[in-house]
C-alpha cells in the first residue's frame, strides 16, 4: 500500500469524545516507551507525525491520524509509566480499555512488546486481557536493533511459550525497528487485508458496527469485529482481570 497523505486528525481523552466512526481504525498499544509513536511514524511514512518522547507516559490522550483520507492510525496512551499517580493511571487505563472494547470501527490492535526484554508480567497480563475481551490483535516486537538476533528470537519464543499456556490460537507475530526502518511493509500488508475485510463486512451488513458496539458493551466475549488479518484469541472464560 502506498500512503499519499498522513495527517493528524484529533485527540480525545476517552471513547465518548472520539469522533465519527466512519473509517476503519488500527490502534497501537503497549508499555510506555515501547515505541508506539515511532512505529506509527514509520508506518505513515511521516516523521514527526506522532510525537516521540524519551519521557515515559508522554501520550495521555487517544491520538488519531488519518491515512489516505480513508483509514486511521490510533496512538494510545502507554501502560506502566511510573511517575503518574495511581489514581490517574487507573483512569487512563479505564478510558483505553473502554475504547478497545467498544469502538465499533476498530479493526485491529497492534500490541507492542520490547523485543530486547524477556517476557514482562505487565505485557503478559495485557495480552491476556485483550484475548479475554475478544479484541482482535497481533503482536509486534519492537526495537529489534537493540539486541542481537538470537536474544530477540529467544525473547519472542519465551513470550509465545507463556501465552500458549492459555491461548487457543497464537496471534500473528511481527517484528520492527524504527531505527533500522524494518517491519513497515509487513504491517501495511496486514492493514490492507484488514481494511478489505472491514469493507466486505460493513457492505454485507451496514448495521454491523452499531450492533457490535452494543453487543460488546454488554458482553465482551460477543464482539464480532476484526474479520481478516487479526482474529481474537479468547480462552472461553470471561475476564475479571484489570490491567
Ligand X SMILES: Nc1nc2c(ncn2[C@@H]2O[C@H](COP(=O)(O)OP(=O)(O)O)[C@@H](O)[C@H]2O)c(=O)[nH]1
Residues that bind ligand X (CB under 6 A): 30, 32-38, 52-54, 59, 78, 142-143, 145-146, 177-179
| Interaction partner, residue 228 (Mg ion, ligand X, none; CB < 5-8 Å by kind) | none
The minimum distance between CB 104 and ligand X, in angstroms, equals: 25
Alpha carbons 142 and 205: distance in angstroms, whole number: 36
Residue 74 β-bridge partners: 27, 64
Which position's Cβ is nearest Mg ion?
Answer: 37
Does residue 32 touch Mg ion according to CB under 5 A? Answer: no
Residue selected from 41, 44, 59, 115 as contacting Mg ion according to rule CB under 5 A: 59
Q: Which is nearer to ligand X, 142 or 216 (CB)?
A: 142
| Interaction partner, residue 189 (ligand X, Mg ion, none; CB < 5-8 Å by kind) | none
Residue-by-residue DSSP string for 49-67: SSPP-SSTT---SEEEEEE
Q: Which is nearer to Mg ion, 63 or 175 (CB)?
A: 63
Angle at 137 between CA 63 and CA 82, to 5 degrees: 55
Q: 141: which residues sit within 8 A by CB, 6+ positions away?
A: 112, 113, 114, 115, 152, 155, 156, 159, 173, 174, 175, 176
| Interaction partner, residue 179 (Mg ion, ligand X, none; CB < 5-8 Å by kind) | ligand X
The minimum distance between CB 125 and Mg ion, in angstroms, equals: 20
Closest CA to 152 of 162, 167, 161, 142: 142
Q: Which is nearer to ligand X, 116 or 202 (CB)?
A: 116
Burial class, 144, CB count within 10 angstroms (exposed 0-12 / middle 13-18 / buried 19+): buried
Q: Which is nearer to Mg ion, 122 or 157 (CB)?
A: 122
The minimum distance between CB 135 and ligand X, in angstroms, equals: 19
Cell of 195: 481494511
Q: Which is nearer to Mg ion, 36 or 143 (CB)?
A: 36
Kindly indicate which of the ranges 57-65, 92-100, 177-185, 223-231 contains the residues binding Mg ion, using the contact rule CB under 5 A. Answer: 57-65
Strand stretches in the chain, DSSP E? 6-12, 25-30, 62-67, 71-75, 106-114, 137-142, 173-175
The minimum distance between CB 2 and Mg ion, in angstroms, equals: 25
Q: Which residues bind Mg ion (CB under 5 A)?
A: 36-37, 59
Amino acid at each position: 500500500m502506498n500512503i499519499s497523505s498522513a495527517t493528524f486528525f484529533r485527540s480525545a481523552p476517552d471513547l465518548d469524545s472520539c469522533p465519527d466512526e466512519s473509517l476503519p481504525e488500527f490502534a497501537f498499544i503497549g508499555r510506555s516507551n515501547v515505541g508506539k509513536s515511532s512505529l506509527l511514524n514509520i508506518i505513515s511514512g511521516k516523521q514527526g507525525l506522532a510525537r516521540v518522547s524519551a519521557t515515559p507516559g508522554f501520550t495521555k490522550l487517544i491520538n488519531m491520524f488519518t491515512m489516505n483520507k480513508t483509514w486511521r492510525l490510533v496512538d494510545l496512551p502507554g501502560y506502566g509509566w511510573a511517575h503518574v499517580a495511581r489514581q490517574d493511571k487507573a483512569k487512563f487505563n479505564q478510558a483505553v480499555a473502554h475504547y478497545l472494547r467498544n469502538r465499533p470501527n476498530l479493526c485491529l490492535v497492534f500490541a507492542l512488546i520490547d523485543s530486547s526484554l524477556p517476557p514482562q508480567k505487565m505485557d503478559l497480563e495485557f495480552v491476556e486481557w485483550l484475548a479475554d475481551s475478544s479484541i482482535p490483535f497481533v503482536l509486534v516486537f519492537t526495537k529489534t536493533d537493540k539486541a542481537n538476533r538470537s536474544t530477540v528470537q529467544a525473547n519472542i519464543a519465551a513470550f509465545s511459550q507463556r501465552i500458549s499456556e492459555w491461548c487457543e490460537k497464537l496471534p500473528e507475530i511481527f517484528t520492527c525497528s524504527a531505527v533500522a526502518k524494518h517491519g513497515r511493509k509487513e504491517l501495511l500488508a496486514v492493514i490492507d487485508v484488514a481494511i478489505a475485510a472491514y469493507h466486505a463486512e460493513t457492505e454485507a451488513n451496514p448495521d454491523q458496527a452499531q450492533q457490535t458496539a452494543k453487543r460488546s458493551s454488554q458482553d465482551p466475549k460477543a464482539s464480532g469485529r476484526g474479520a481478516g488479518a487479526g482474529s481474537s484469541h479468547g480462552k472461553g472464560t470471561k475476564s475479571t482481570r484489570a490491567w
